């Protein structure tokens, strides 16, 4: 299971998020995705912990907690579905306009 952390402060760094979640156990992986065009942080993170029990405890304890001046949202990350880019000039149904 991977944890999604939303509404992060744009001042938050990977080390900050790792330190916050380290209070709940071993952090295996932490990433703060960047915007492709601007290279700036997008305001969310993904955190993977060593056990499901640690992840569940972190989610329960940190949901809607104020951290770095923002009320963060913490929940189980859902896998991406569909959502790929459409071909230019295509608006669904295979029609071209």
- Looking at residue 81, its pLDDT comes to 75
- Residue carrying the six token digits 């295996």: 28
The pLDDT of residue 13: 97
- Rg, the chain, Cα only: 17
Select from 3.40.640.10, 3.40.720.10, 3.30.70.330, 3.40.50.620 the CATH code of 2-76: 3.30.70.330
The pLDDT value given to residue 89: 46
Report residue 85's pLDDT band, with 50, 70 and 90 as the boundaries. low
Spatial separation of the C-alpha atoms in residues 33 and 87, rounded to whole Å: 24
- pTM of the predicted model as reported, rounded to 2 decimal places: 0.79
Distance, CA of 36 to CA of 47 (rounded, Å):
20
Q: How many CB atoms lie within 10 A of CB 17?
A: 23
Q: What are 27-83's pLDDT values in tens digits?
A: 999 999 999 999 999 999 999 999 999 999 999 999 989 999 999 999 999 887 765
Q: Where are the domains of the chain?
A: 2-76
């Amino acid at each position: 299971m991977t944890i999604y952390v939303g509404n992060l402060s744009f001042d938050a760094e990977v080390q900050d998020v790792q330190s916050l979640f380290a209070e709940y156990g071993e952090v295996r992986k932490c990433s703060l995705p960047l915007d492709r065009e601007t290279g700036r942080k997008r305001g969310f993170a993904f955190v993977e912990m060593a056990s499901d029990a640690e992840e569940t405890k972190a989610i329960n304890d940190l949901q809607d907690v104020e951290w770095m001046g923002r009320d963060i949202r913490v929940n189980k990350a859902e896998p991406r579905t569909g959502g790929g880019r459409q071909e230019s000039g295509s608006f669904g149904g295979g029609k071209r306009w």
